[in-house]
Chains A and B, each alone.
Chain A
Amino acid sequence: MLWYKGWLETRFRLLFALGCTGLVLFQLHLIPPDGKSKIFGILENLTPIILLMICAMLSGAGIVTQAPFQAKKGLQASTIFTLSLPVSRLRLLAVRAGLGWLEAAGAIGALCCAMWLISPALRMMTTPVEMLEYAGTLIACASAIYFLSVLLATFLDDVWRIWGTMIGVAAFWWISSHTPLPAFTNIFRAMGKSSPLIAHTTPWNAIAFSVALSAILLFAALRVVQAREY
């Protein structure tokens, strides 16, 4: 039933996330079949921003994590009722974060399918396998953004969490782009310039880095939730 509750909490956010993908599709739709460079522009710049929005939207609502002073109204006001149920906090967080991640992954998958169907230019420059690899890369790399937002949801309210996610992602992007860190730490590059659609190789190192980072962020979120008092 926790999945059912999570679905009721996120269904409109999922709708909004799918709406956001429409922006990418609309831009792709406008590109003529020979507009390869314009497609690269969309893949490098617009798509990561849309993924950030999707992750930020779907990681919030109803995560049973916030402190009581933030839990006075809206979705969080019912936190005490949720916590009085015979369910461990690990399960509460895992189900809610898991559902949001599945929805985000579904939205990204739907975006990639629609991109393939809608853009003749994209179909000409890539194979279906590359498109599949691209979707997998986006999902894996966006997971780090998603779980950063989940962690922030454990101590920030919804509005501040979204701002925090954006600031955190911008800071991470700047650090990974402007400091001599290993290239695989730049997950934004892996979603754009080094993605299977543009570089025609799968950025396995960046994917592994993002998955490891996601696991650390989820673990940190769990520790916060287990330690929290309500």
Chain B
Amino acid sequence: MTDFIVETSQLCKSFKSKEALRGLDLRVPVGSIFGFLGRNGAGKTTTIKTLLGLLRSDSGSAQVFGIPVTDADSTVGIRRRIGFVAEDKELYPYMTVKQIIRYTRPFFPQWRDDLAQRYLQMFELPPEGKIPNLSKGMRSKLMLLLAISRGAELLILDEPTDGLDPTAIEEVLRELVSIAASSGATIFFSSHQLAEVERIADQVGIIDQGRMIVSGSLDDMKARYQRLQVVFADRVEMPARWADGIASVRQDGRMVSILASHNADAIVEQAESIPGTTVERFPVTLKEIFLEHVRSN
């Protein structure tokens, strides 16, 4: 197996006239916590469904555990090693919590009874409770229990904290980090909650209109990206051409705010060479990086 547990290359998928994936290149390193970000309709769920064999790609390639994902039946072995939480959090309405745990368990040879018991108690799930009587938050917790207890090498979580209250979100995030640390499992999760992603992810990919627009280590990204605030003494005299690495420039009176995606030192040097300017550097949040890229795409 390569260093990547999930790898796609030029992956394309269309639904009638809509292109959901347009040459997606995705690489999820083994053992990472990968935050998969994008607007609604960006192609996150389509990517996840393709990796699970629920959808067939039109062109390009996808591999999970180094095994090519081609169709539903060839991915049975892949799914045995994956824990999955679906976006809609729907489970069998005629089963109780206890019944669905008992039902899911035999499909996974690495099933962890200890984890199932632990999360049953931690999430305060009623074993005899019927699934339709559970709130959306409780159903999310139950799906997480069913995914985590599989003892999977890869957890694919589509909006895992959707419907959870802040306390539960805190618990879930802590557990995900703990699972990644203790079992070495890779966690690939999509979320709209950028603060959550920033807290636990070490790798981030931003998808927009079916293409990966930014991907890499979150620490590297945050080190490379900087917000530069240039204040001109009198009137704004911008250079004819800024140095490479500017993602966006906004002017507000005598103040110019620059988002540098890389090469911040050279940009600062250039700004400071303009007489009467002062330059300040600020760290950027993942939210700023996300919004900037999505807007400019």
Contacts and interface: CB of A to CB of B under 8 A. Distances in A.
Contacts of A226: 71-73
Contacts of B4: none
A8 B108 contact: no
B242 interface: no
B56 interface: yes
Contacts of B73: 88-90, 226
Contacts of B93: 74-75, 77-78
Residue from A5, A80, A81, A84 having most chain B Cβ neighbours under 10 A: A84
Contacts of B72: 83, 88-89, 226
Contact-residue bracket for chain B: 20 to 34
B181 interface: no
A80 B88 contact: yes
B79 interface: yes
Interface stretch (B99-107, B188-196, B273-281): B99-107
Interface in B173-205: none
Interface string B79-118: 1101010101011111100010011101110000000000
Contacts of A229: 54-56
A85 interface: yes
B153 to A, nearest CB: 13
Given A89-B73, A230-B49, A1 B92 contact: no
A133 interface: no
A179 to B, nearest CB: 39
A230 B79 contact: no
A9 to B, nearest CB: 7
A87 interface: yes
Interface in A1-32: 1, 4-5, 8-9
Contacts of B91: 78, 81
A131 to B, nearest CB: 36
A128 interface: no
Contacts of A87: 76, 107
Contacts of B166: none
A7 to B, nearest CB: 10
Given A9-B94, A77-B88, A88-B73, A83 B54 contact: yes
Nearest to A230: B54
B52 interface: yes
A86 interface: yes
Contacts of B239: none
A9 B93 CA distance: 10
A119 B72 CA distance: 52
B76 A84 contact: no
A177 B276 CA distance: 99
Contact of B95 (A8, A77, A90): A8
A1 B111 CA distance: 15
Nearest to A225: B72
A5 B94 CA distance: 9
Given A1-B107, A89-B73, A90-B73, A84 B79 contact: yes
A119 B231 CA distance: 101
**Top 5 A-B pairs, shortest CB-CB distance:** A86-B80, A77-B90, A86-B79, A84-B84, A230-B54
Given A80-B90, A229-B55, 10 more contacts: A8-B99, A78-B92, A85-B79, A86-B77, A86-B107, A88-B72, A226-B73, A229-B56, A230-B49, A230-B54
14 contacts: A4-B103, A5-B103, A8-B99, A78-B91, A80-B86, A81-B90, A81-B91, A81-B92, A84-B82, A86-B107, A88-B72, A88-B73, A90-B73, A230-B49
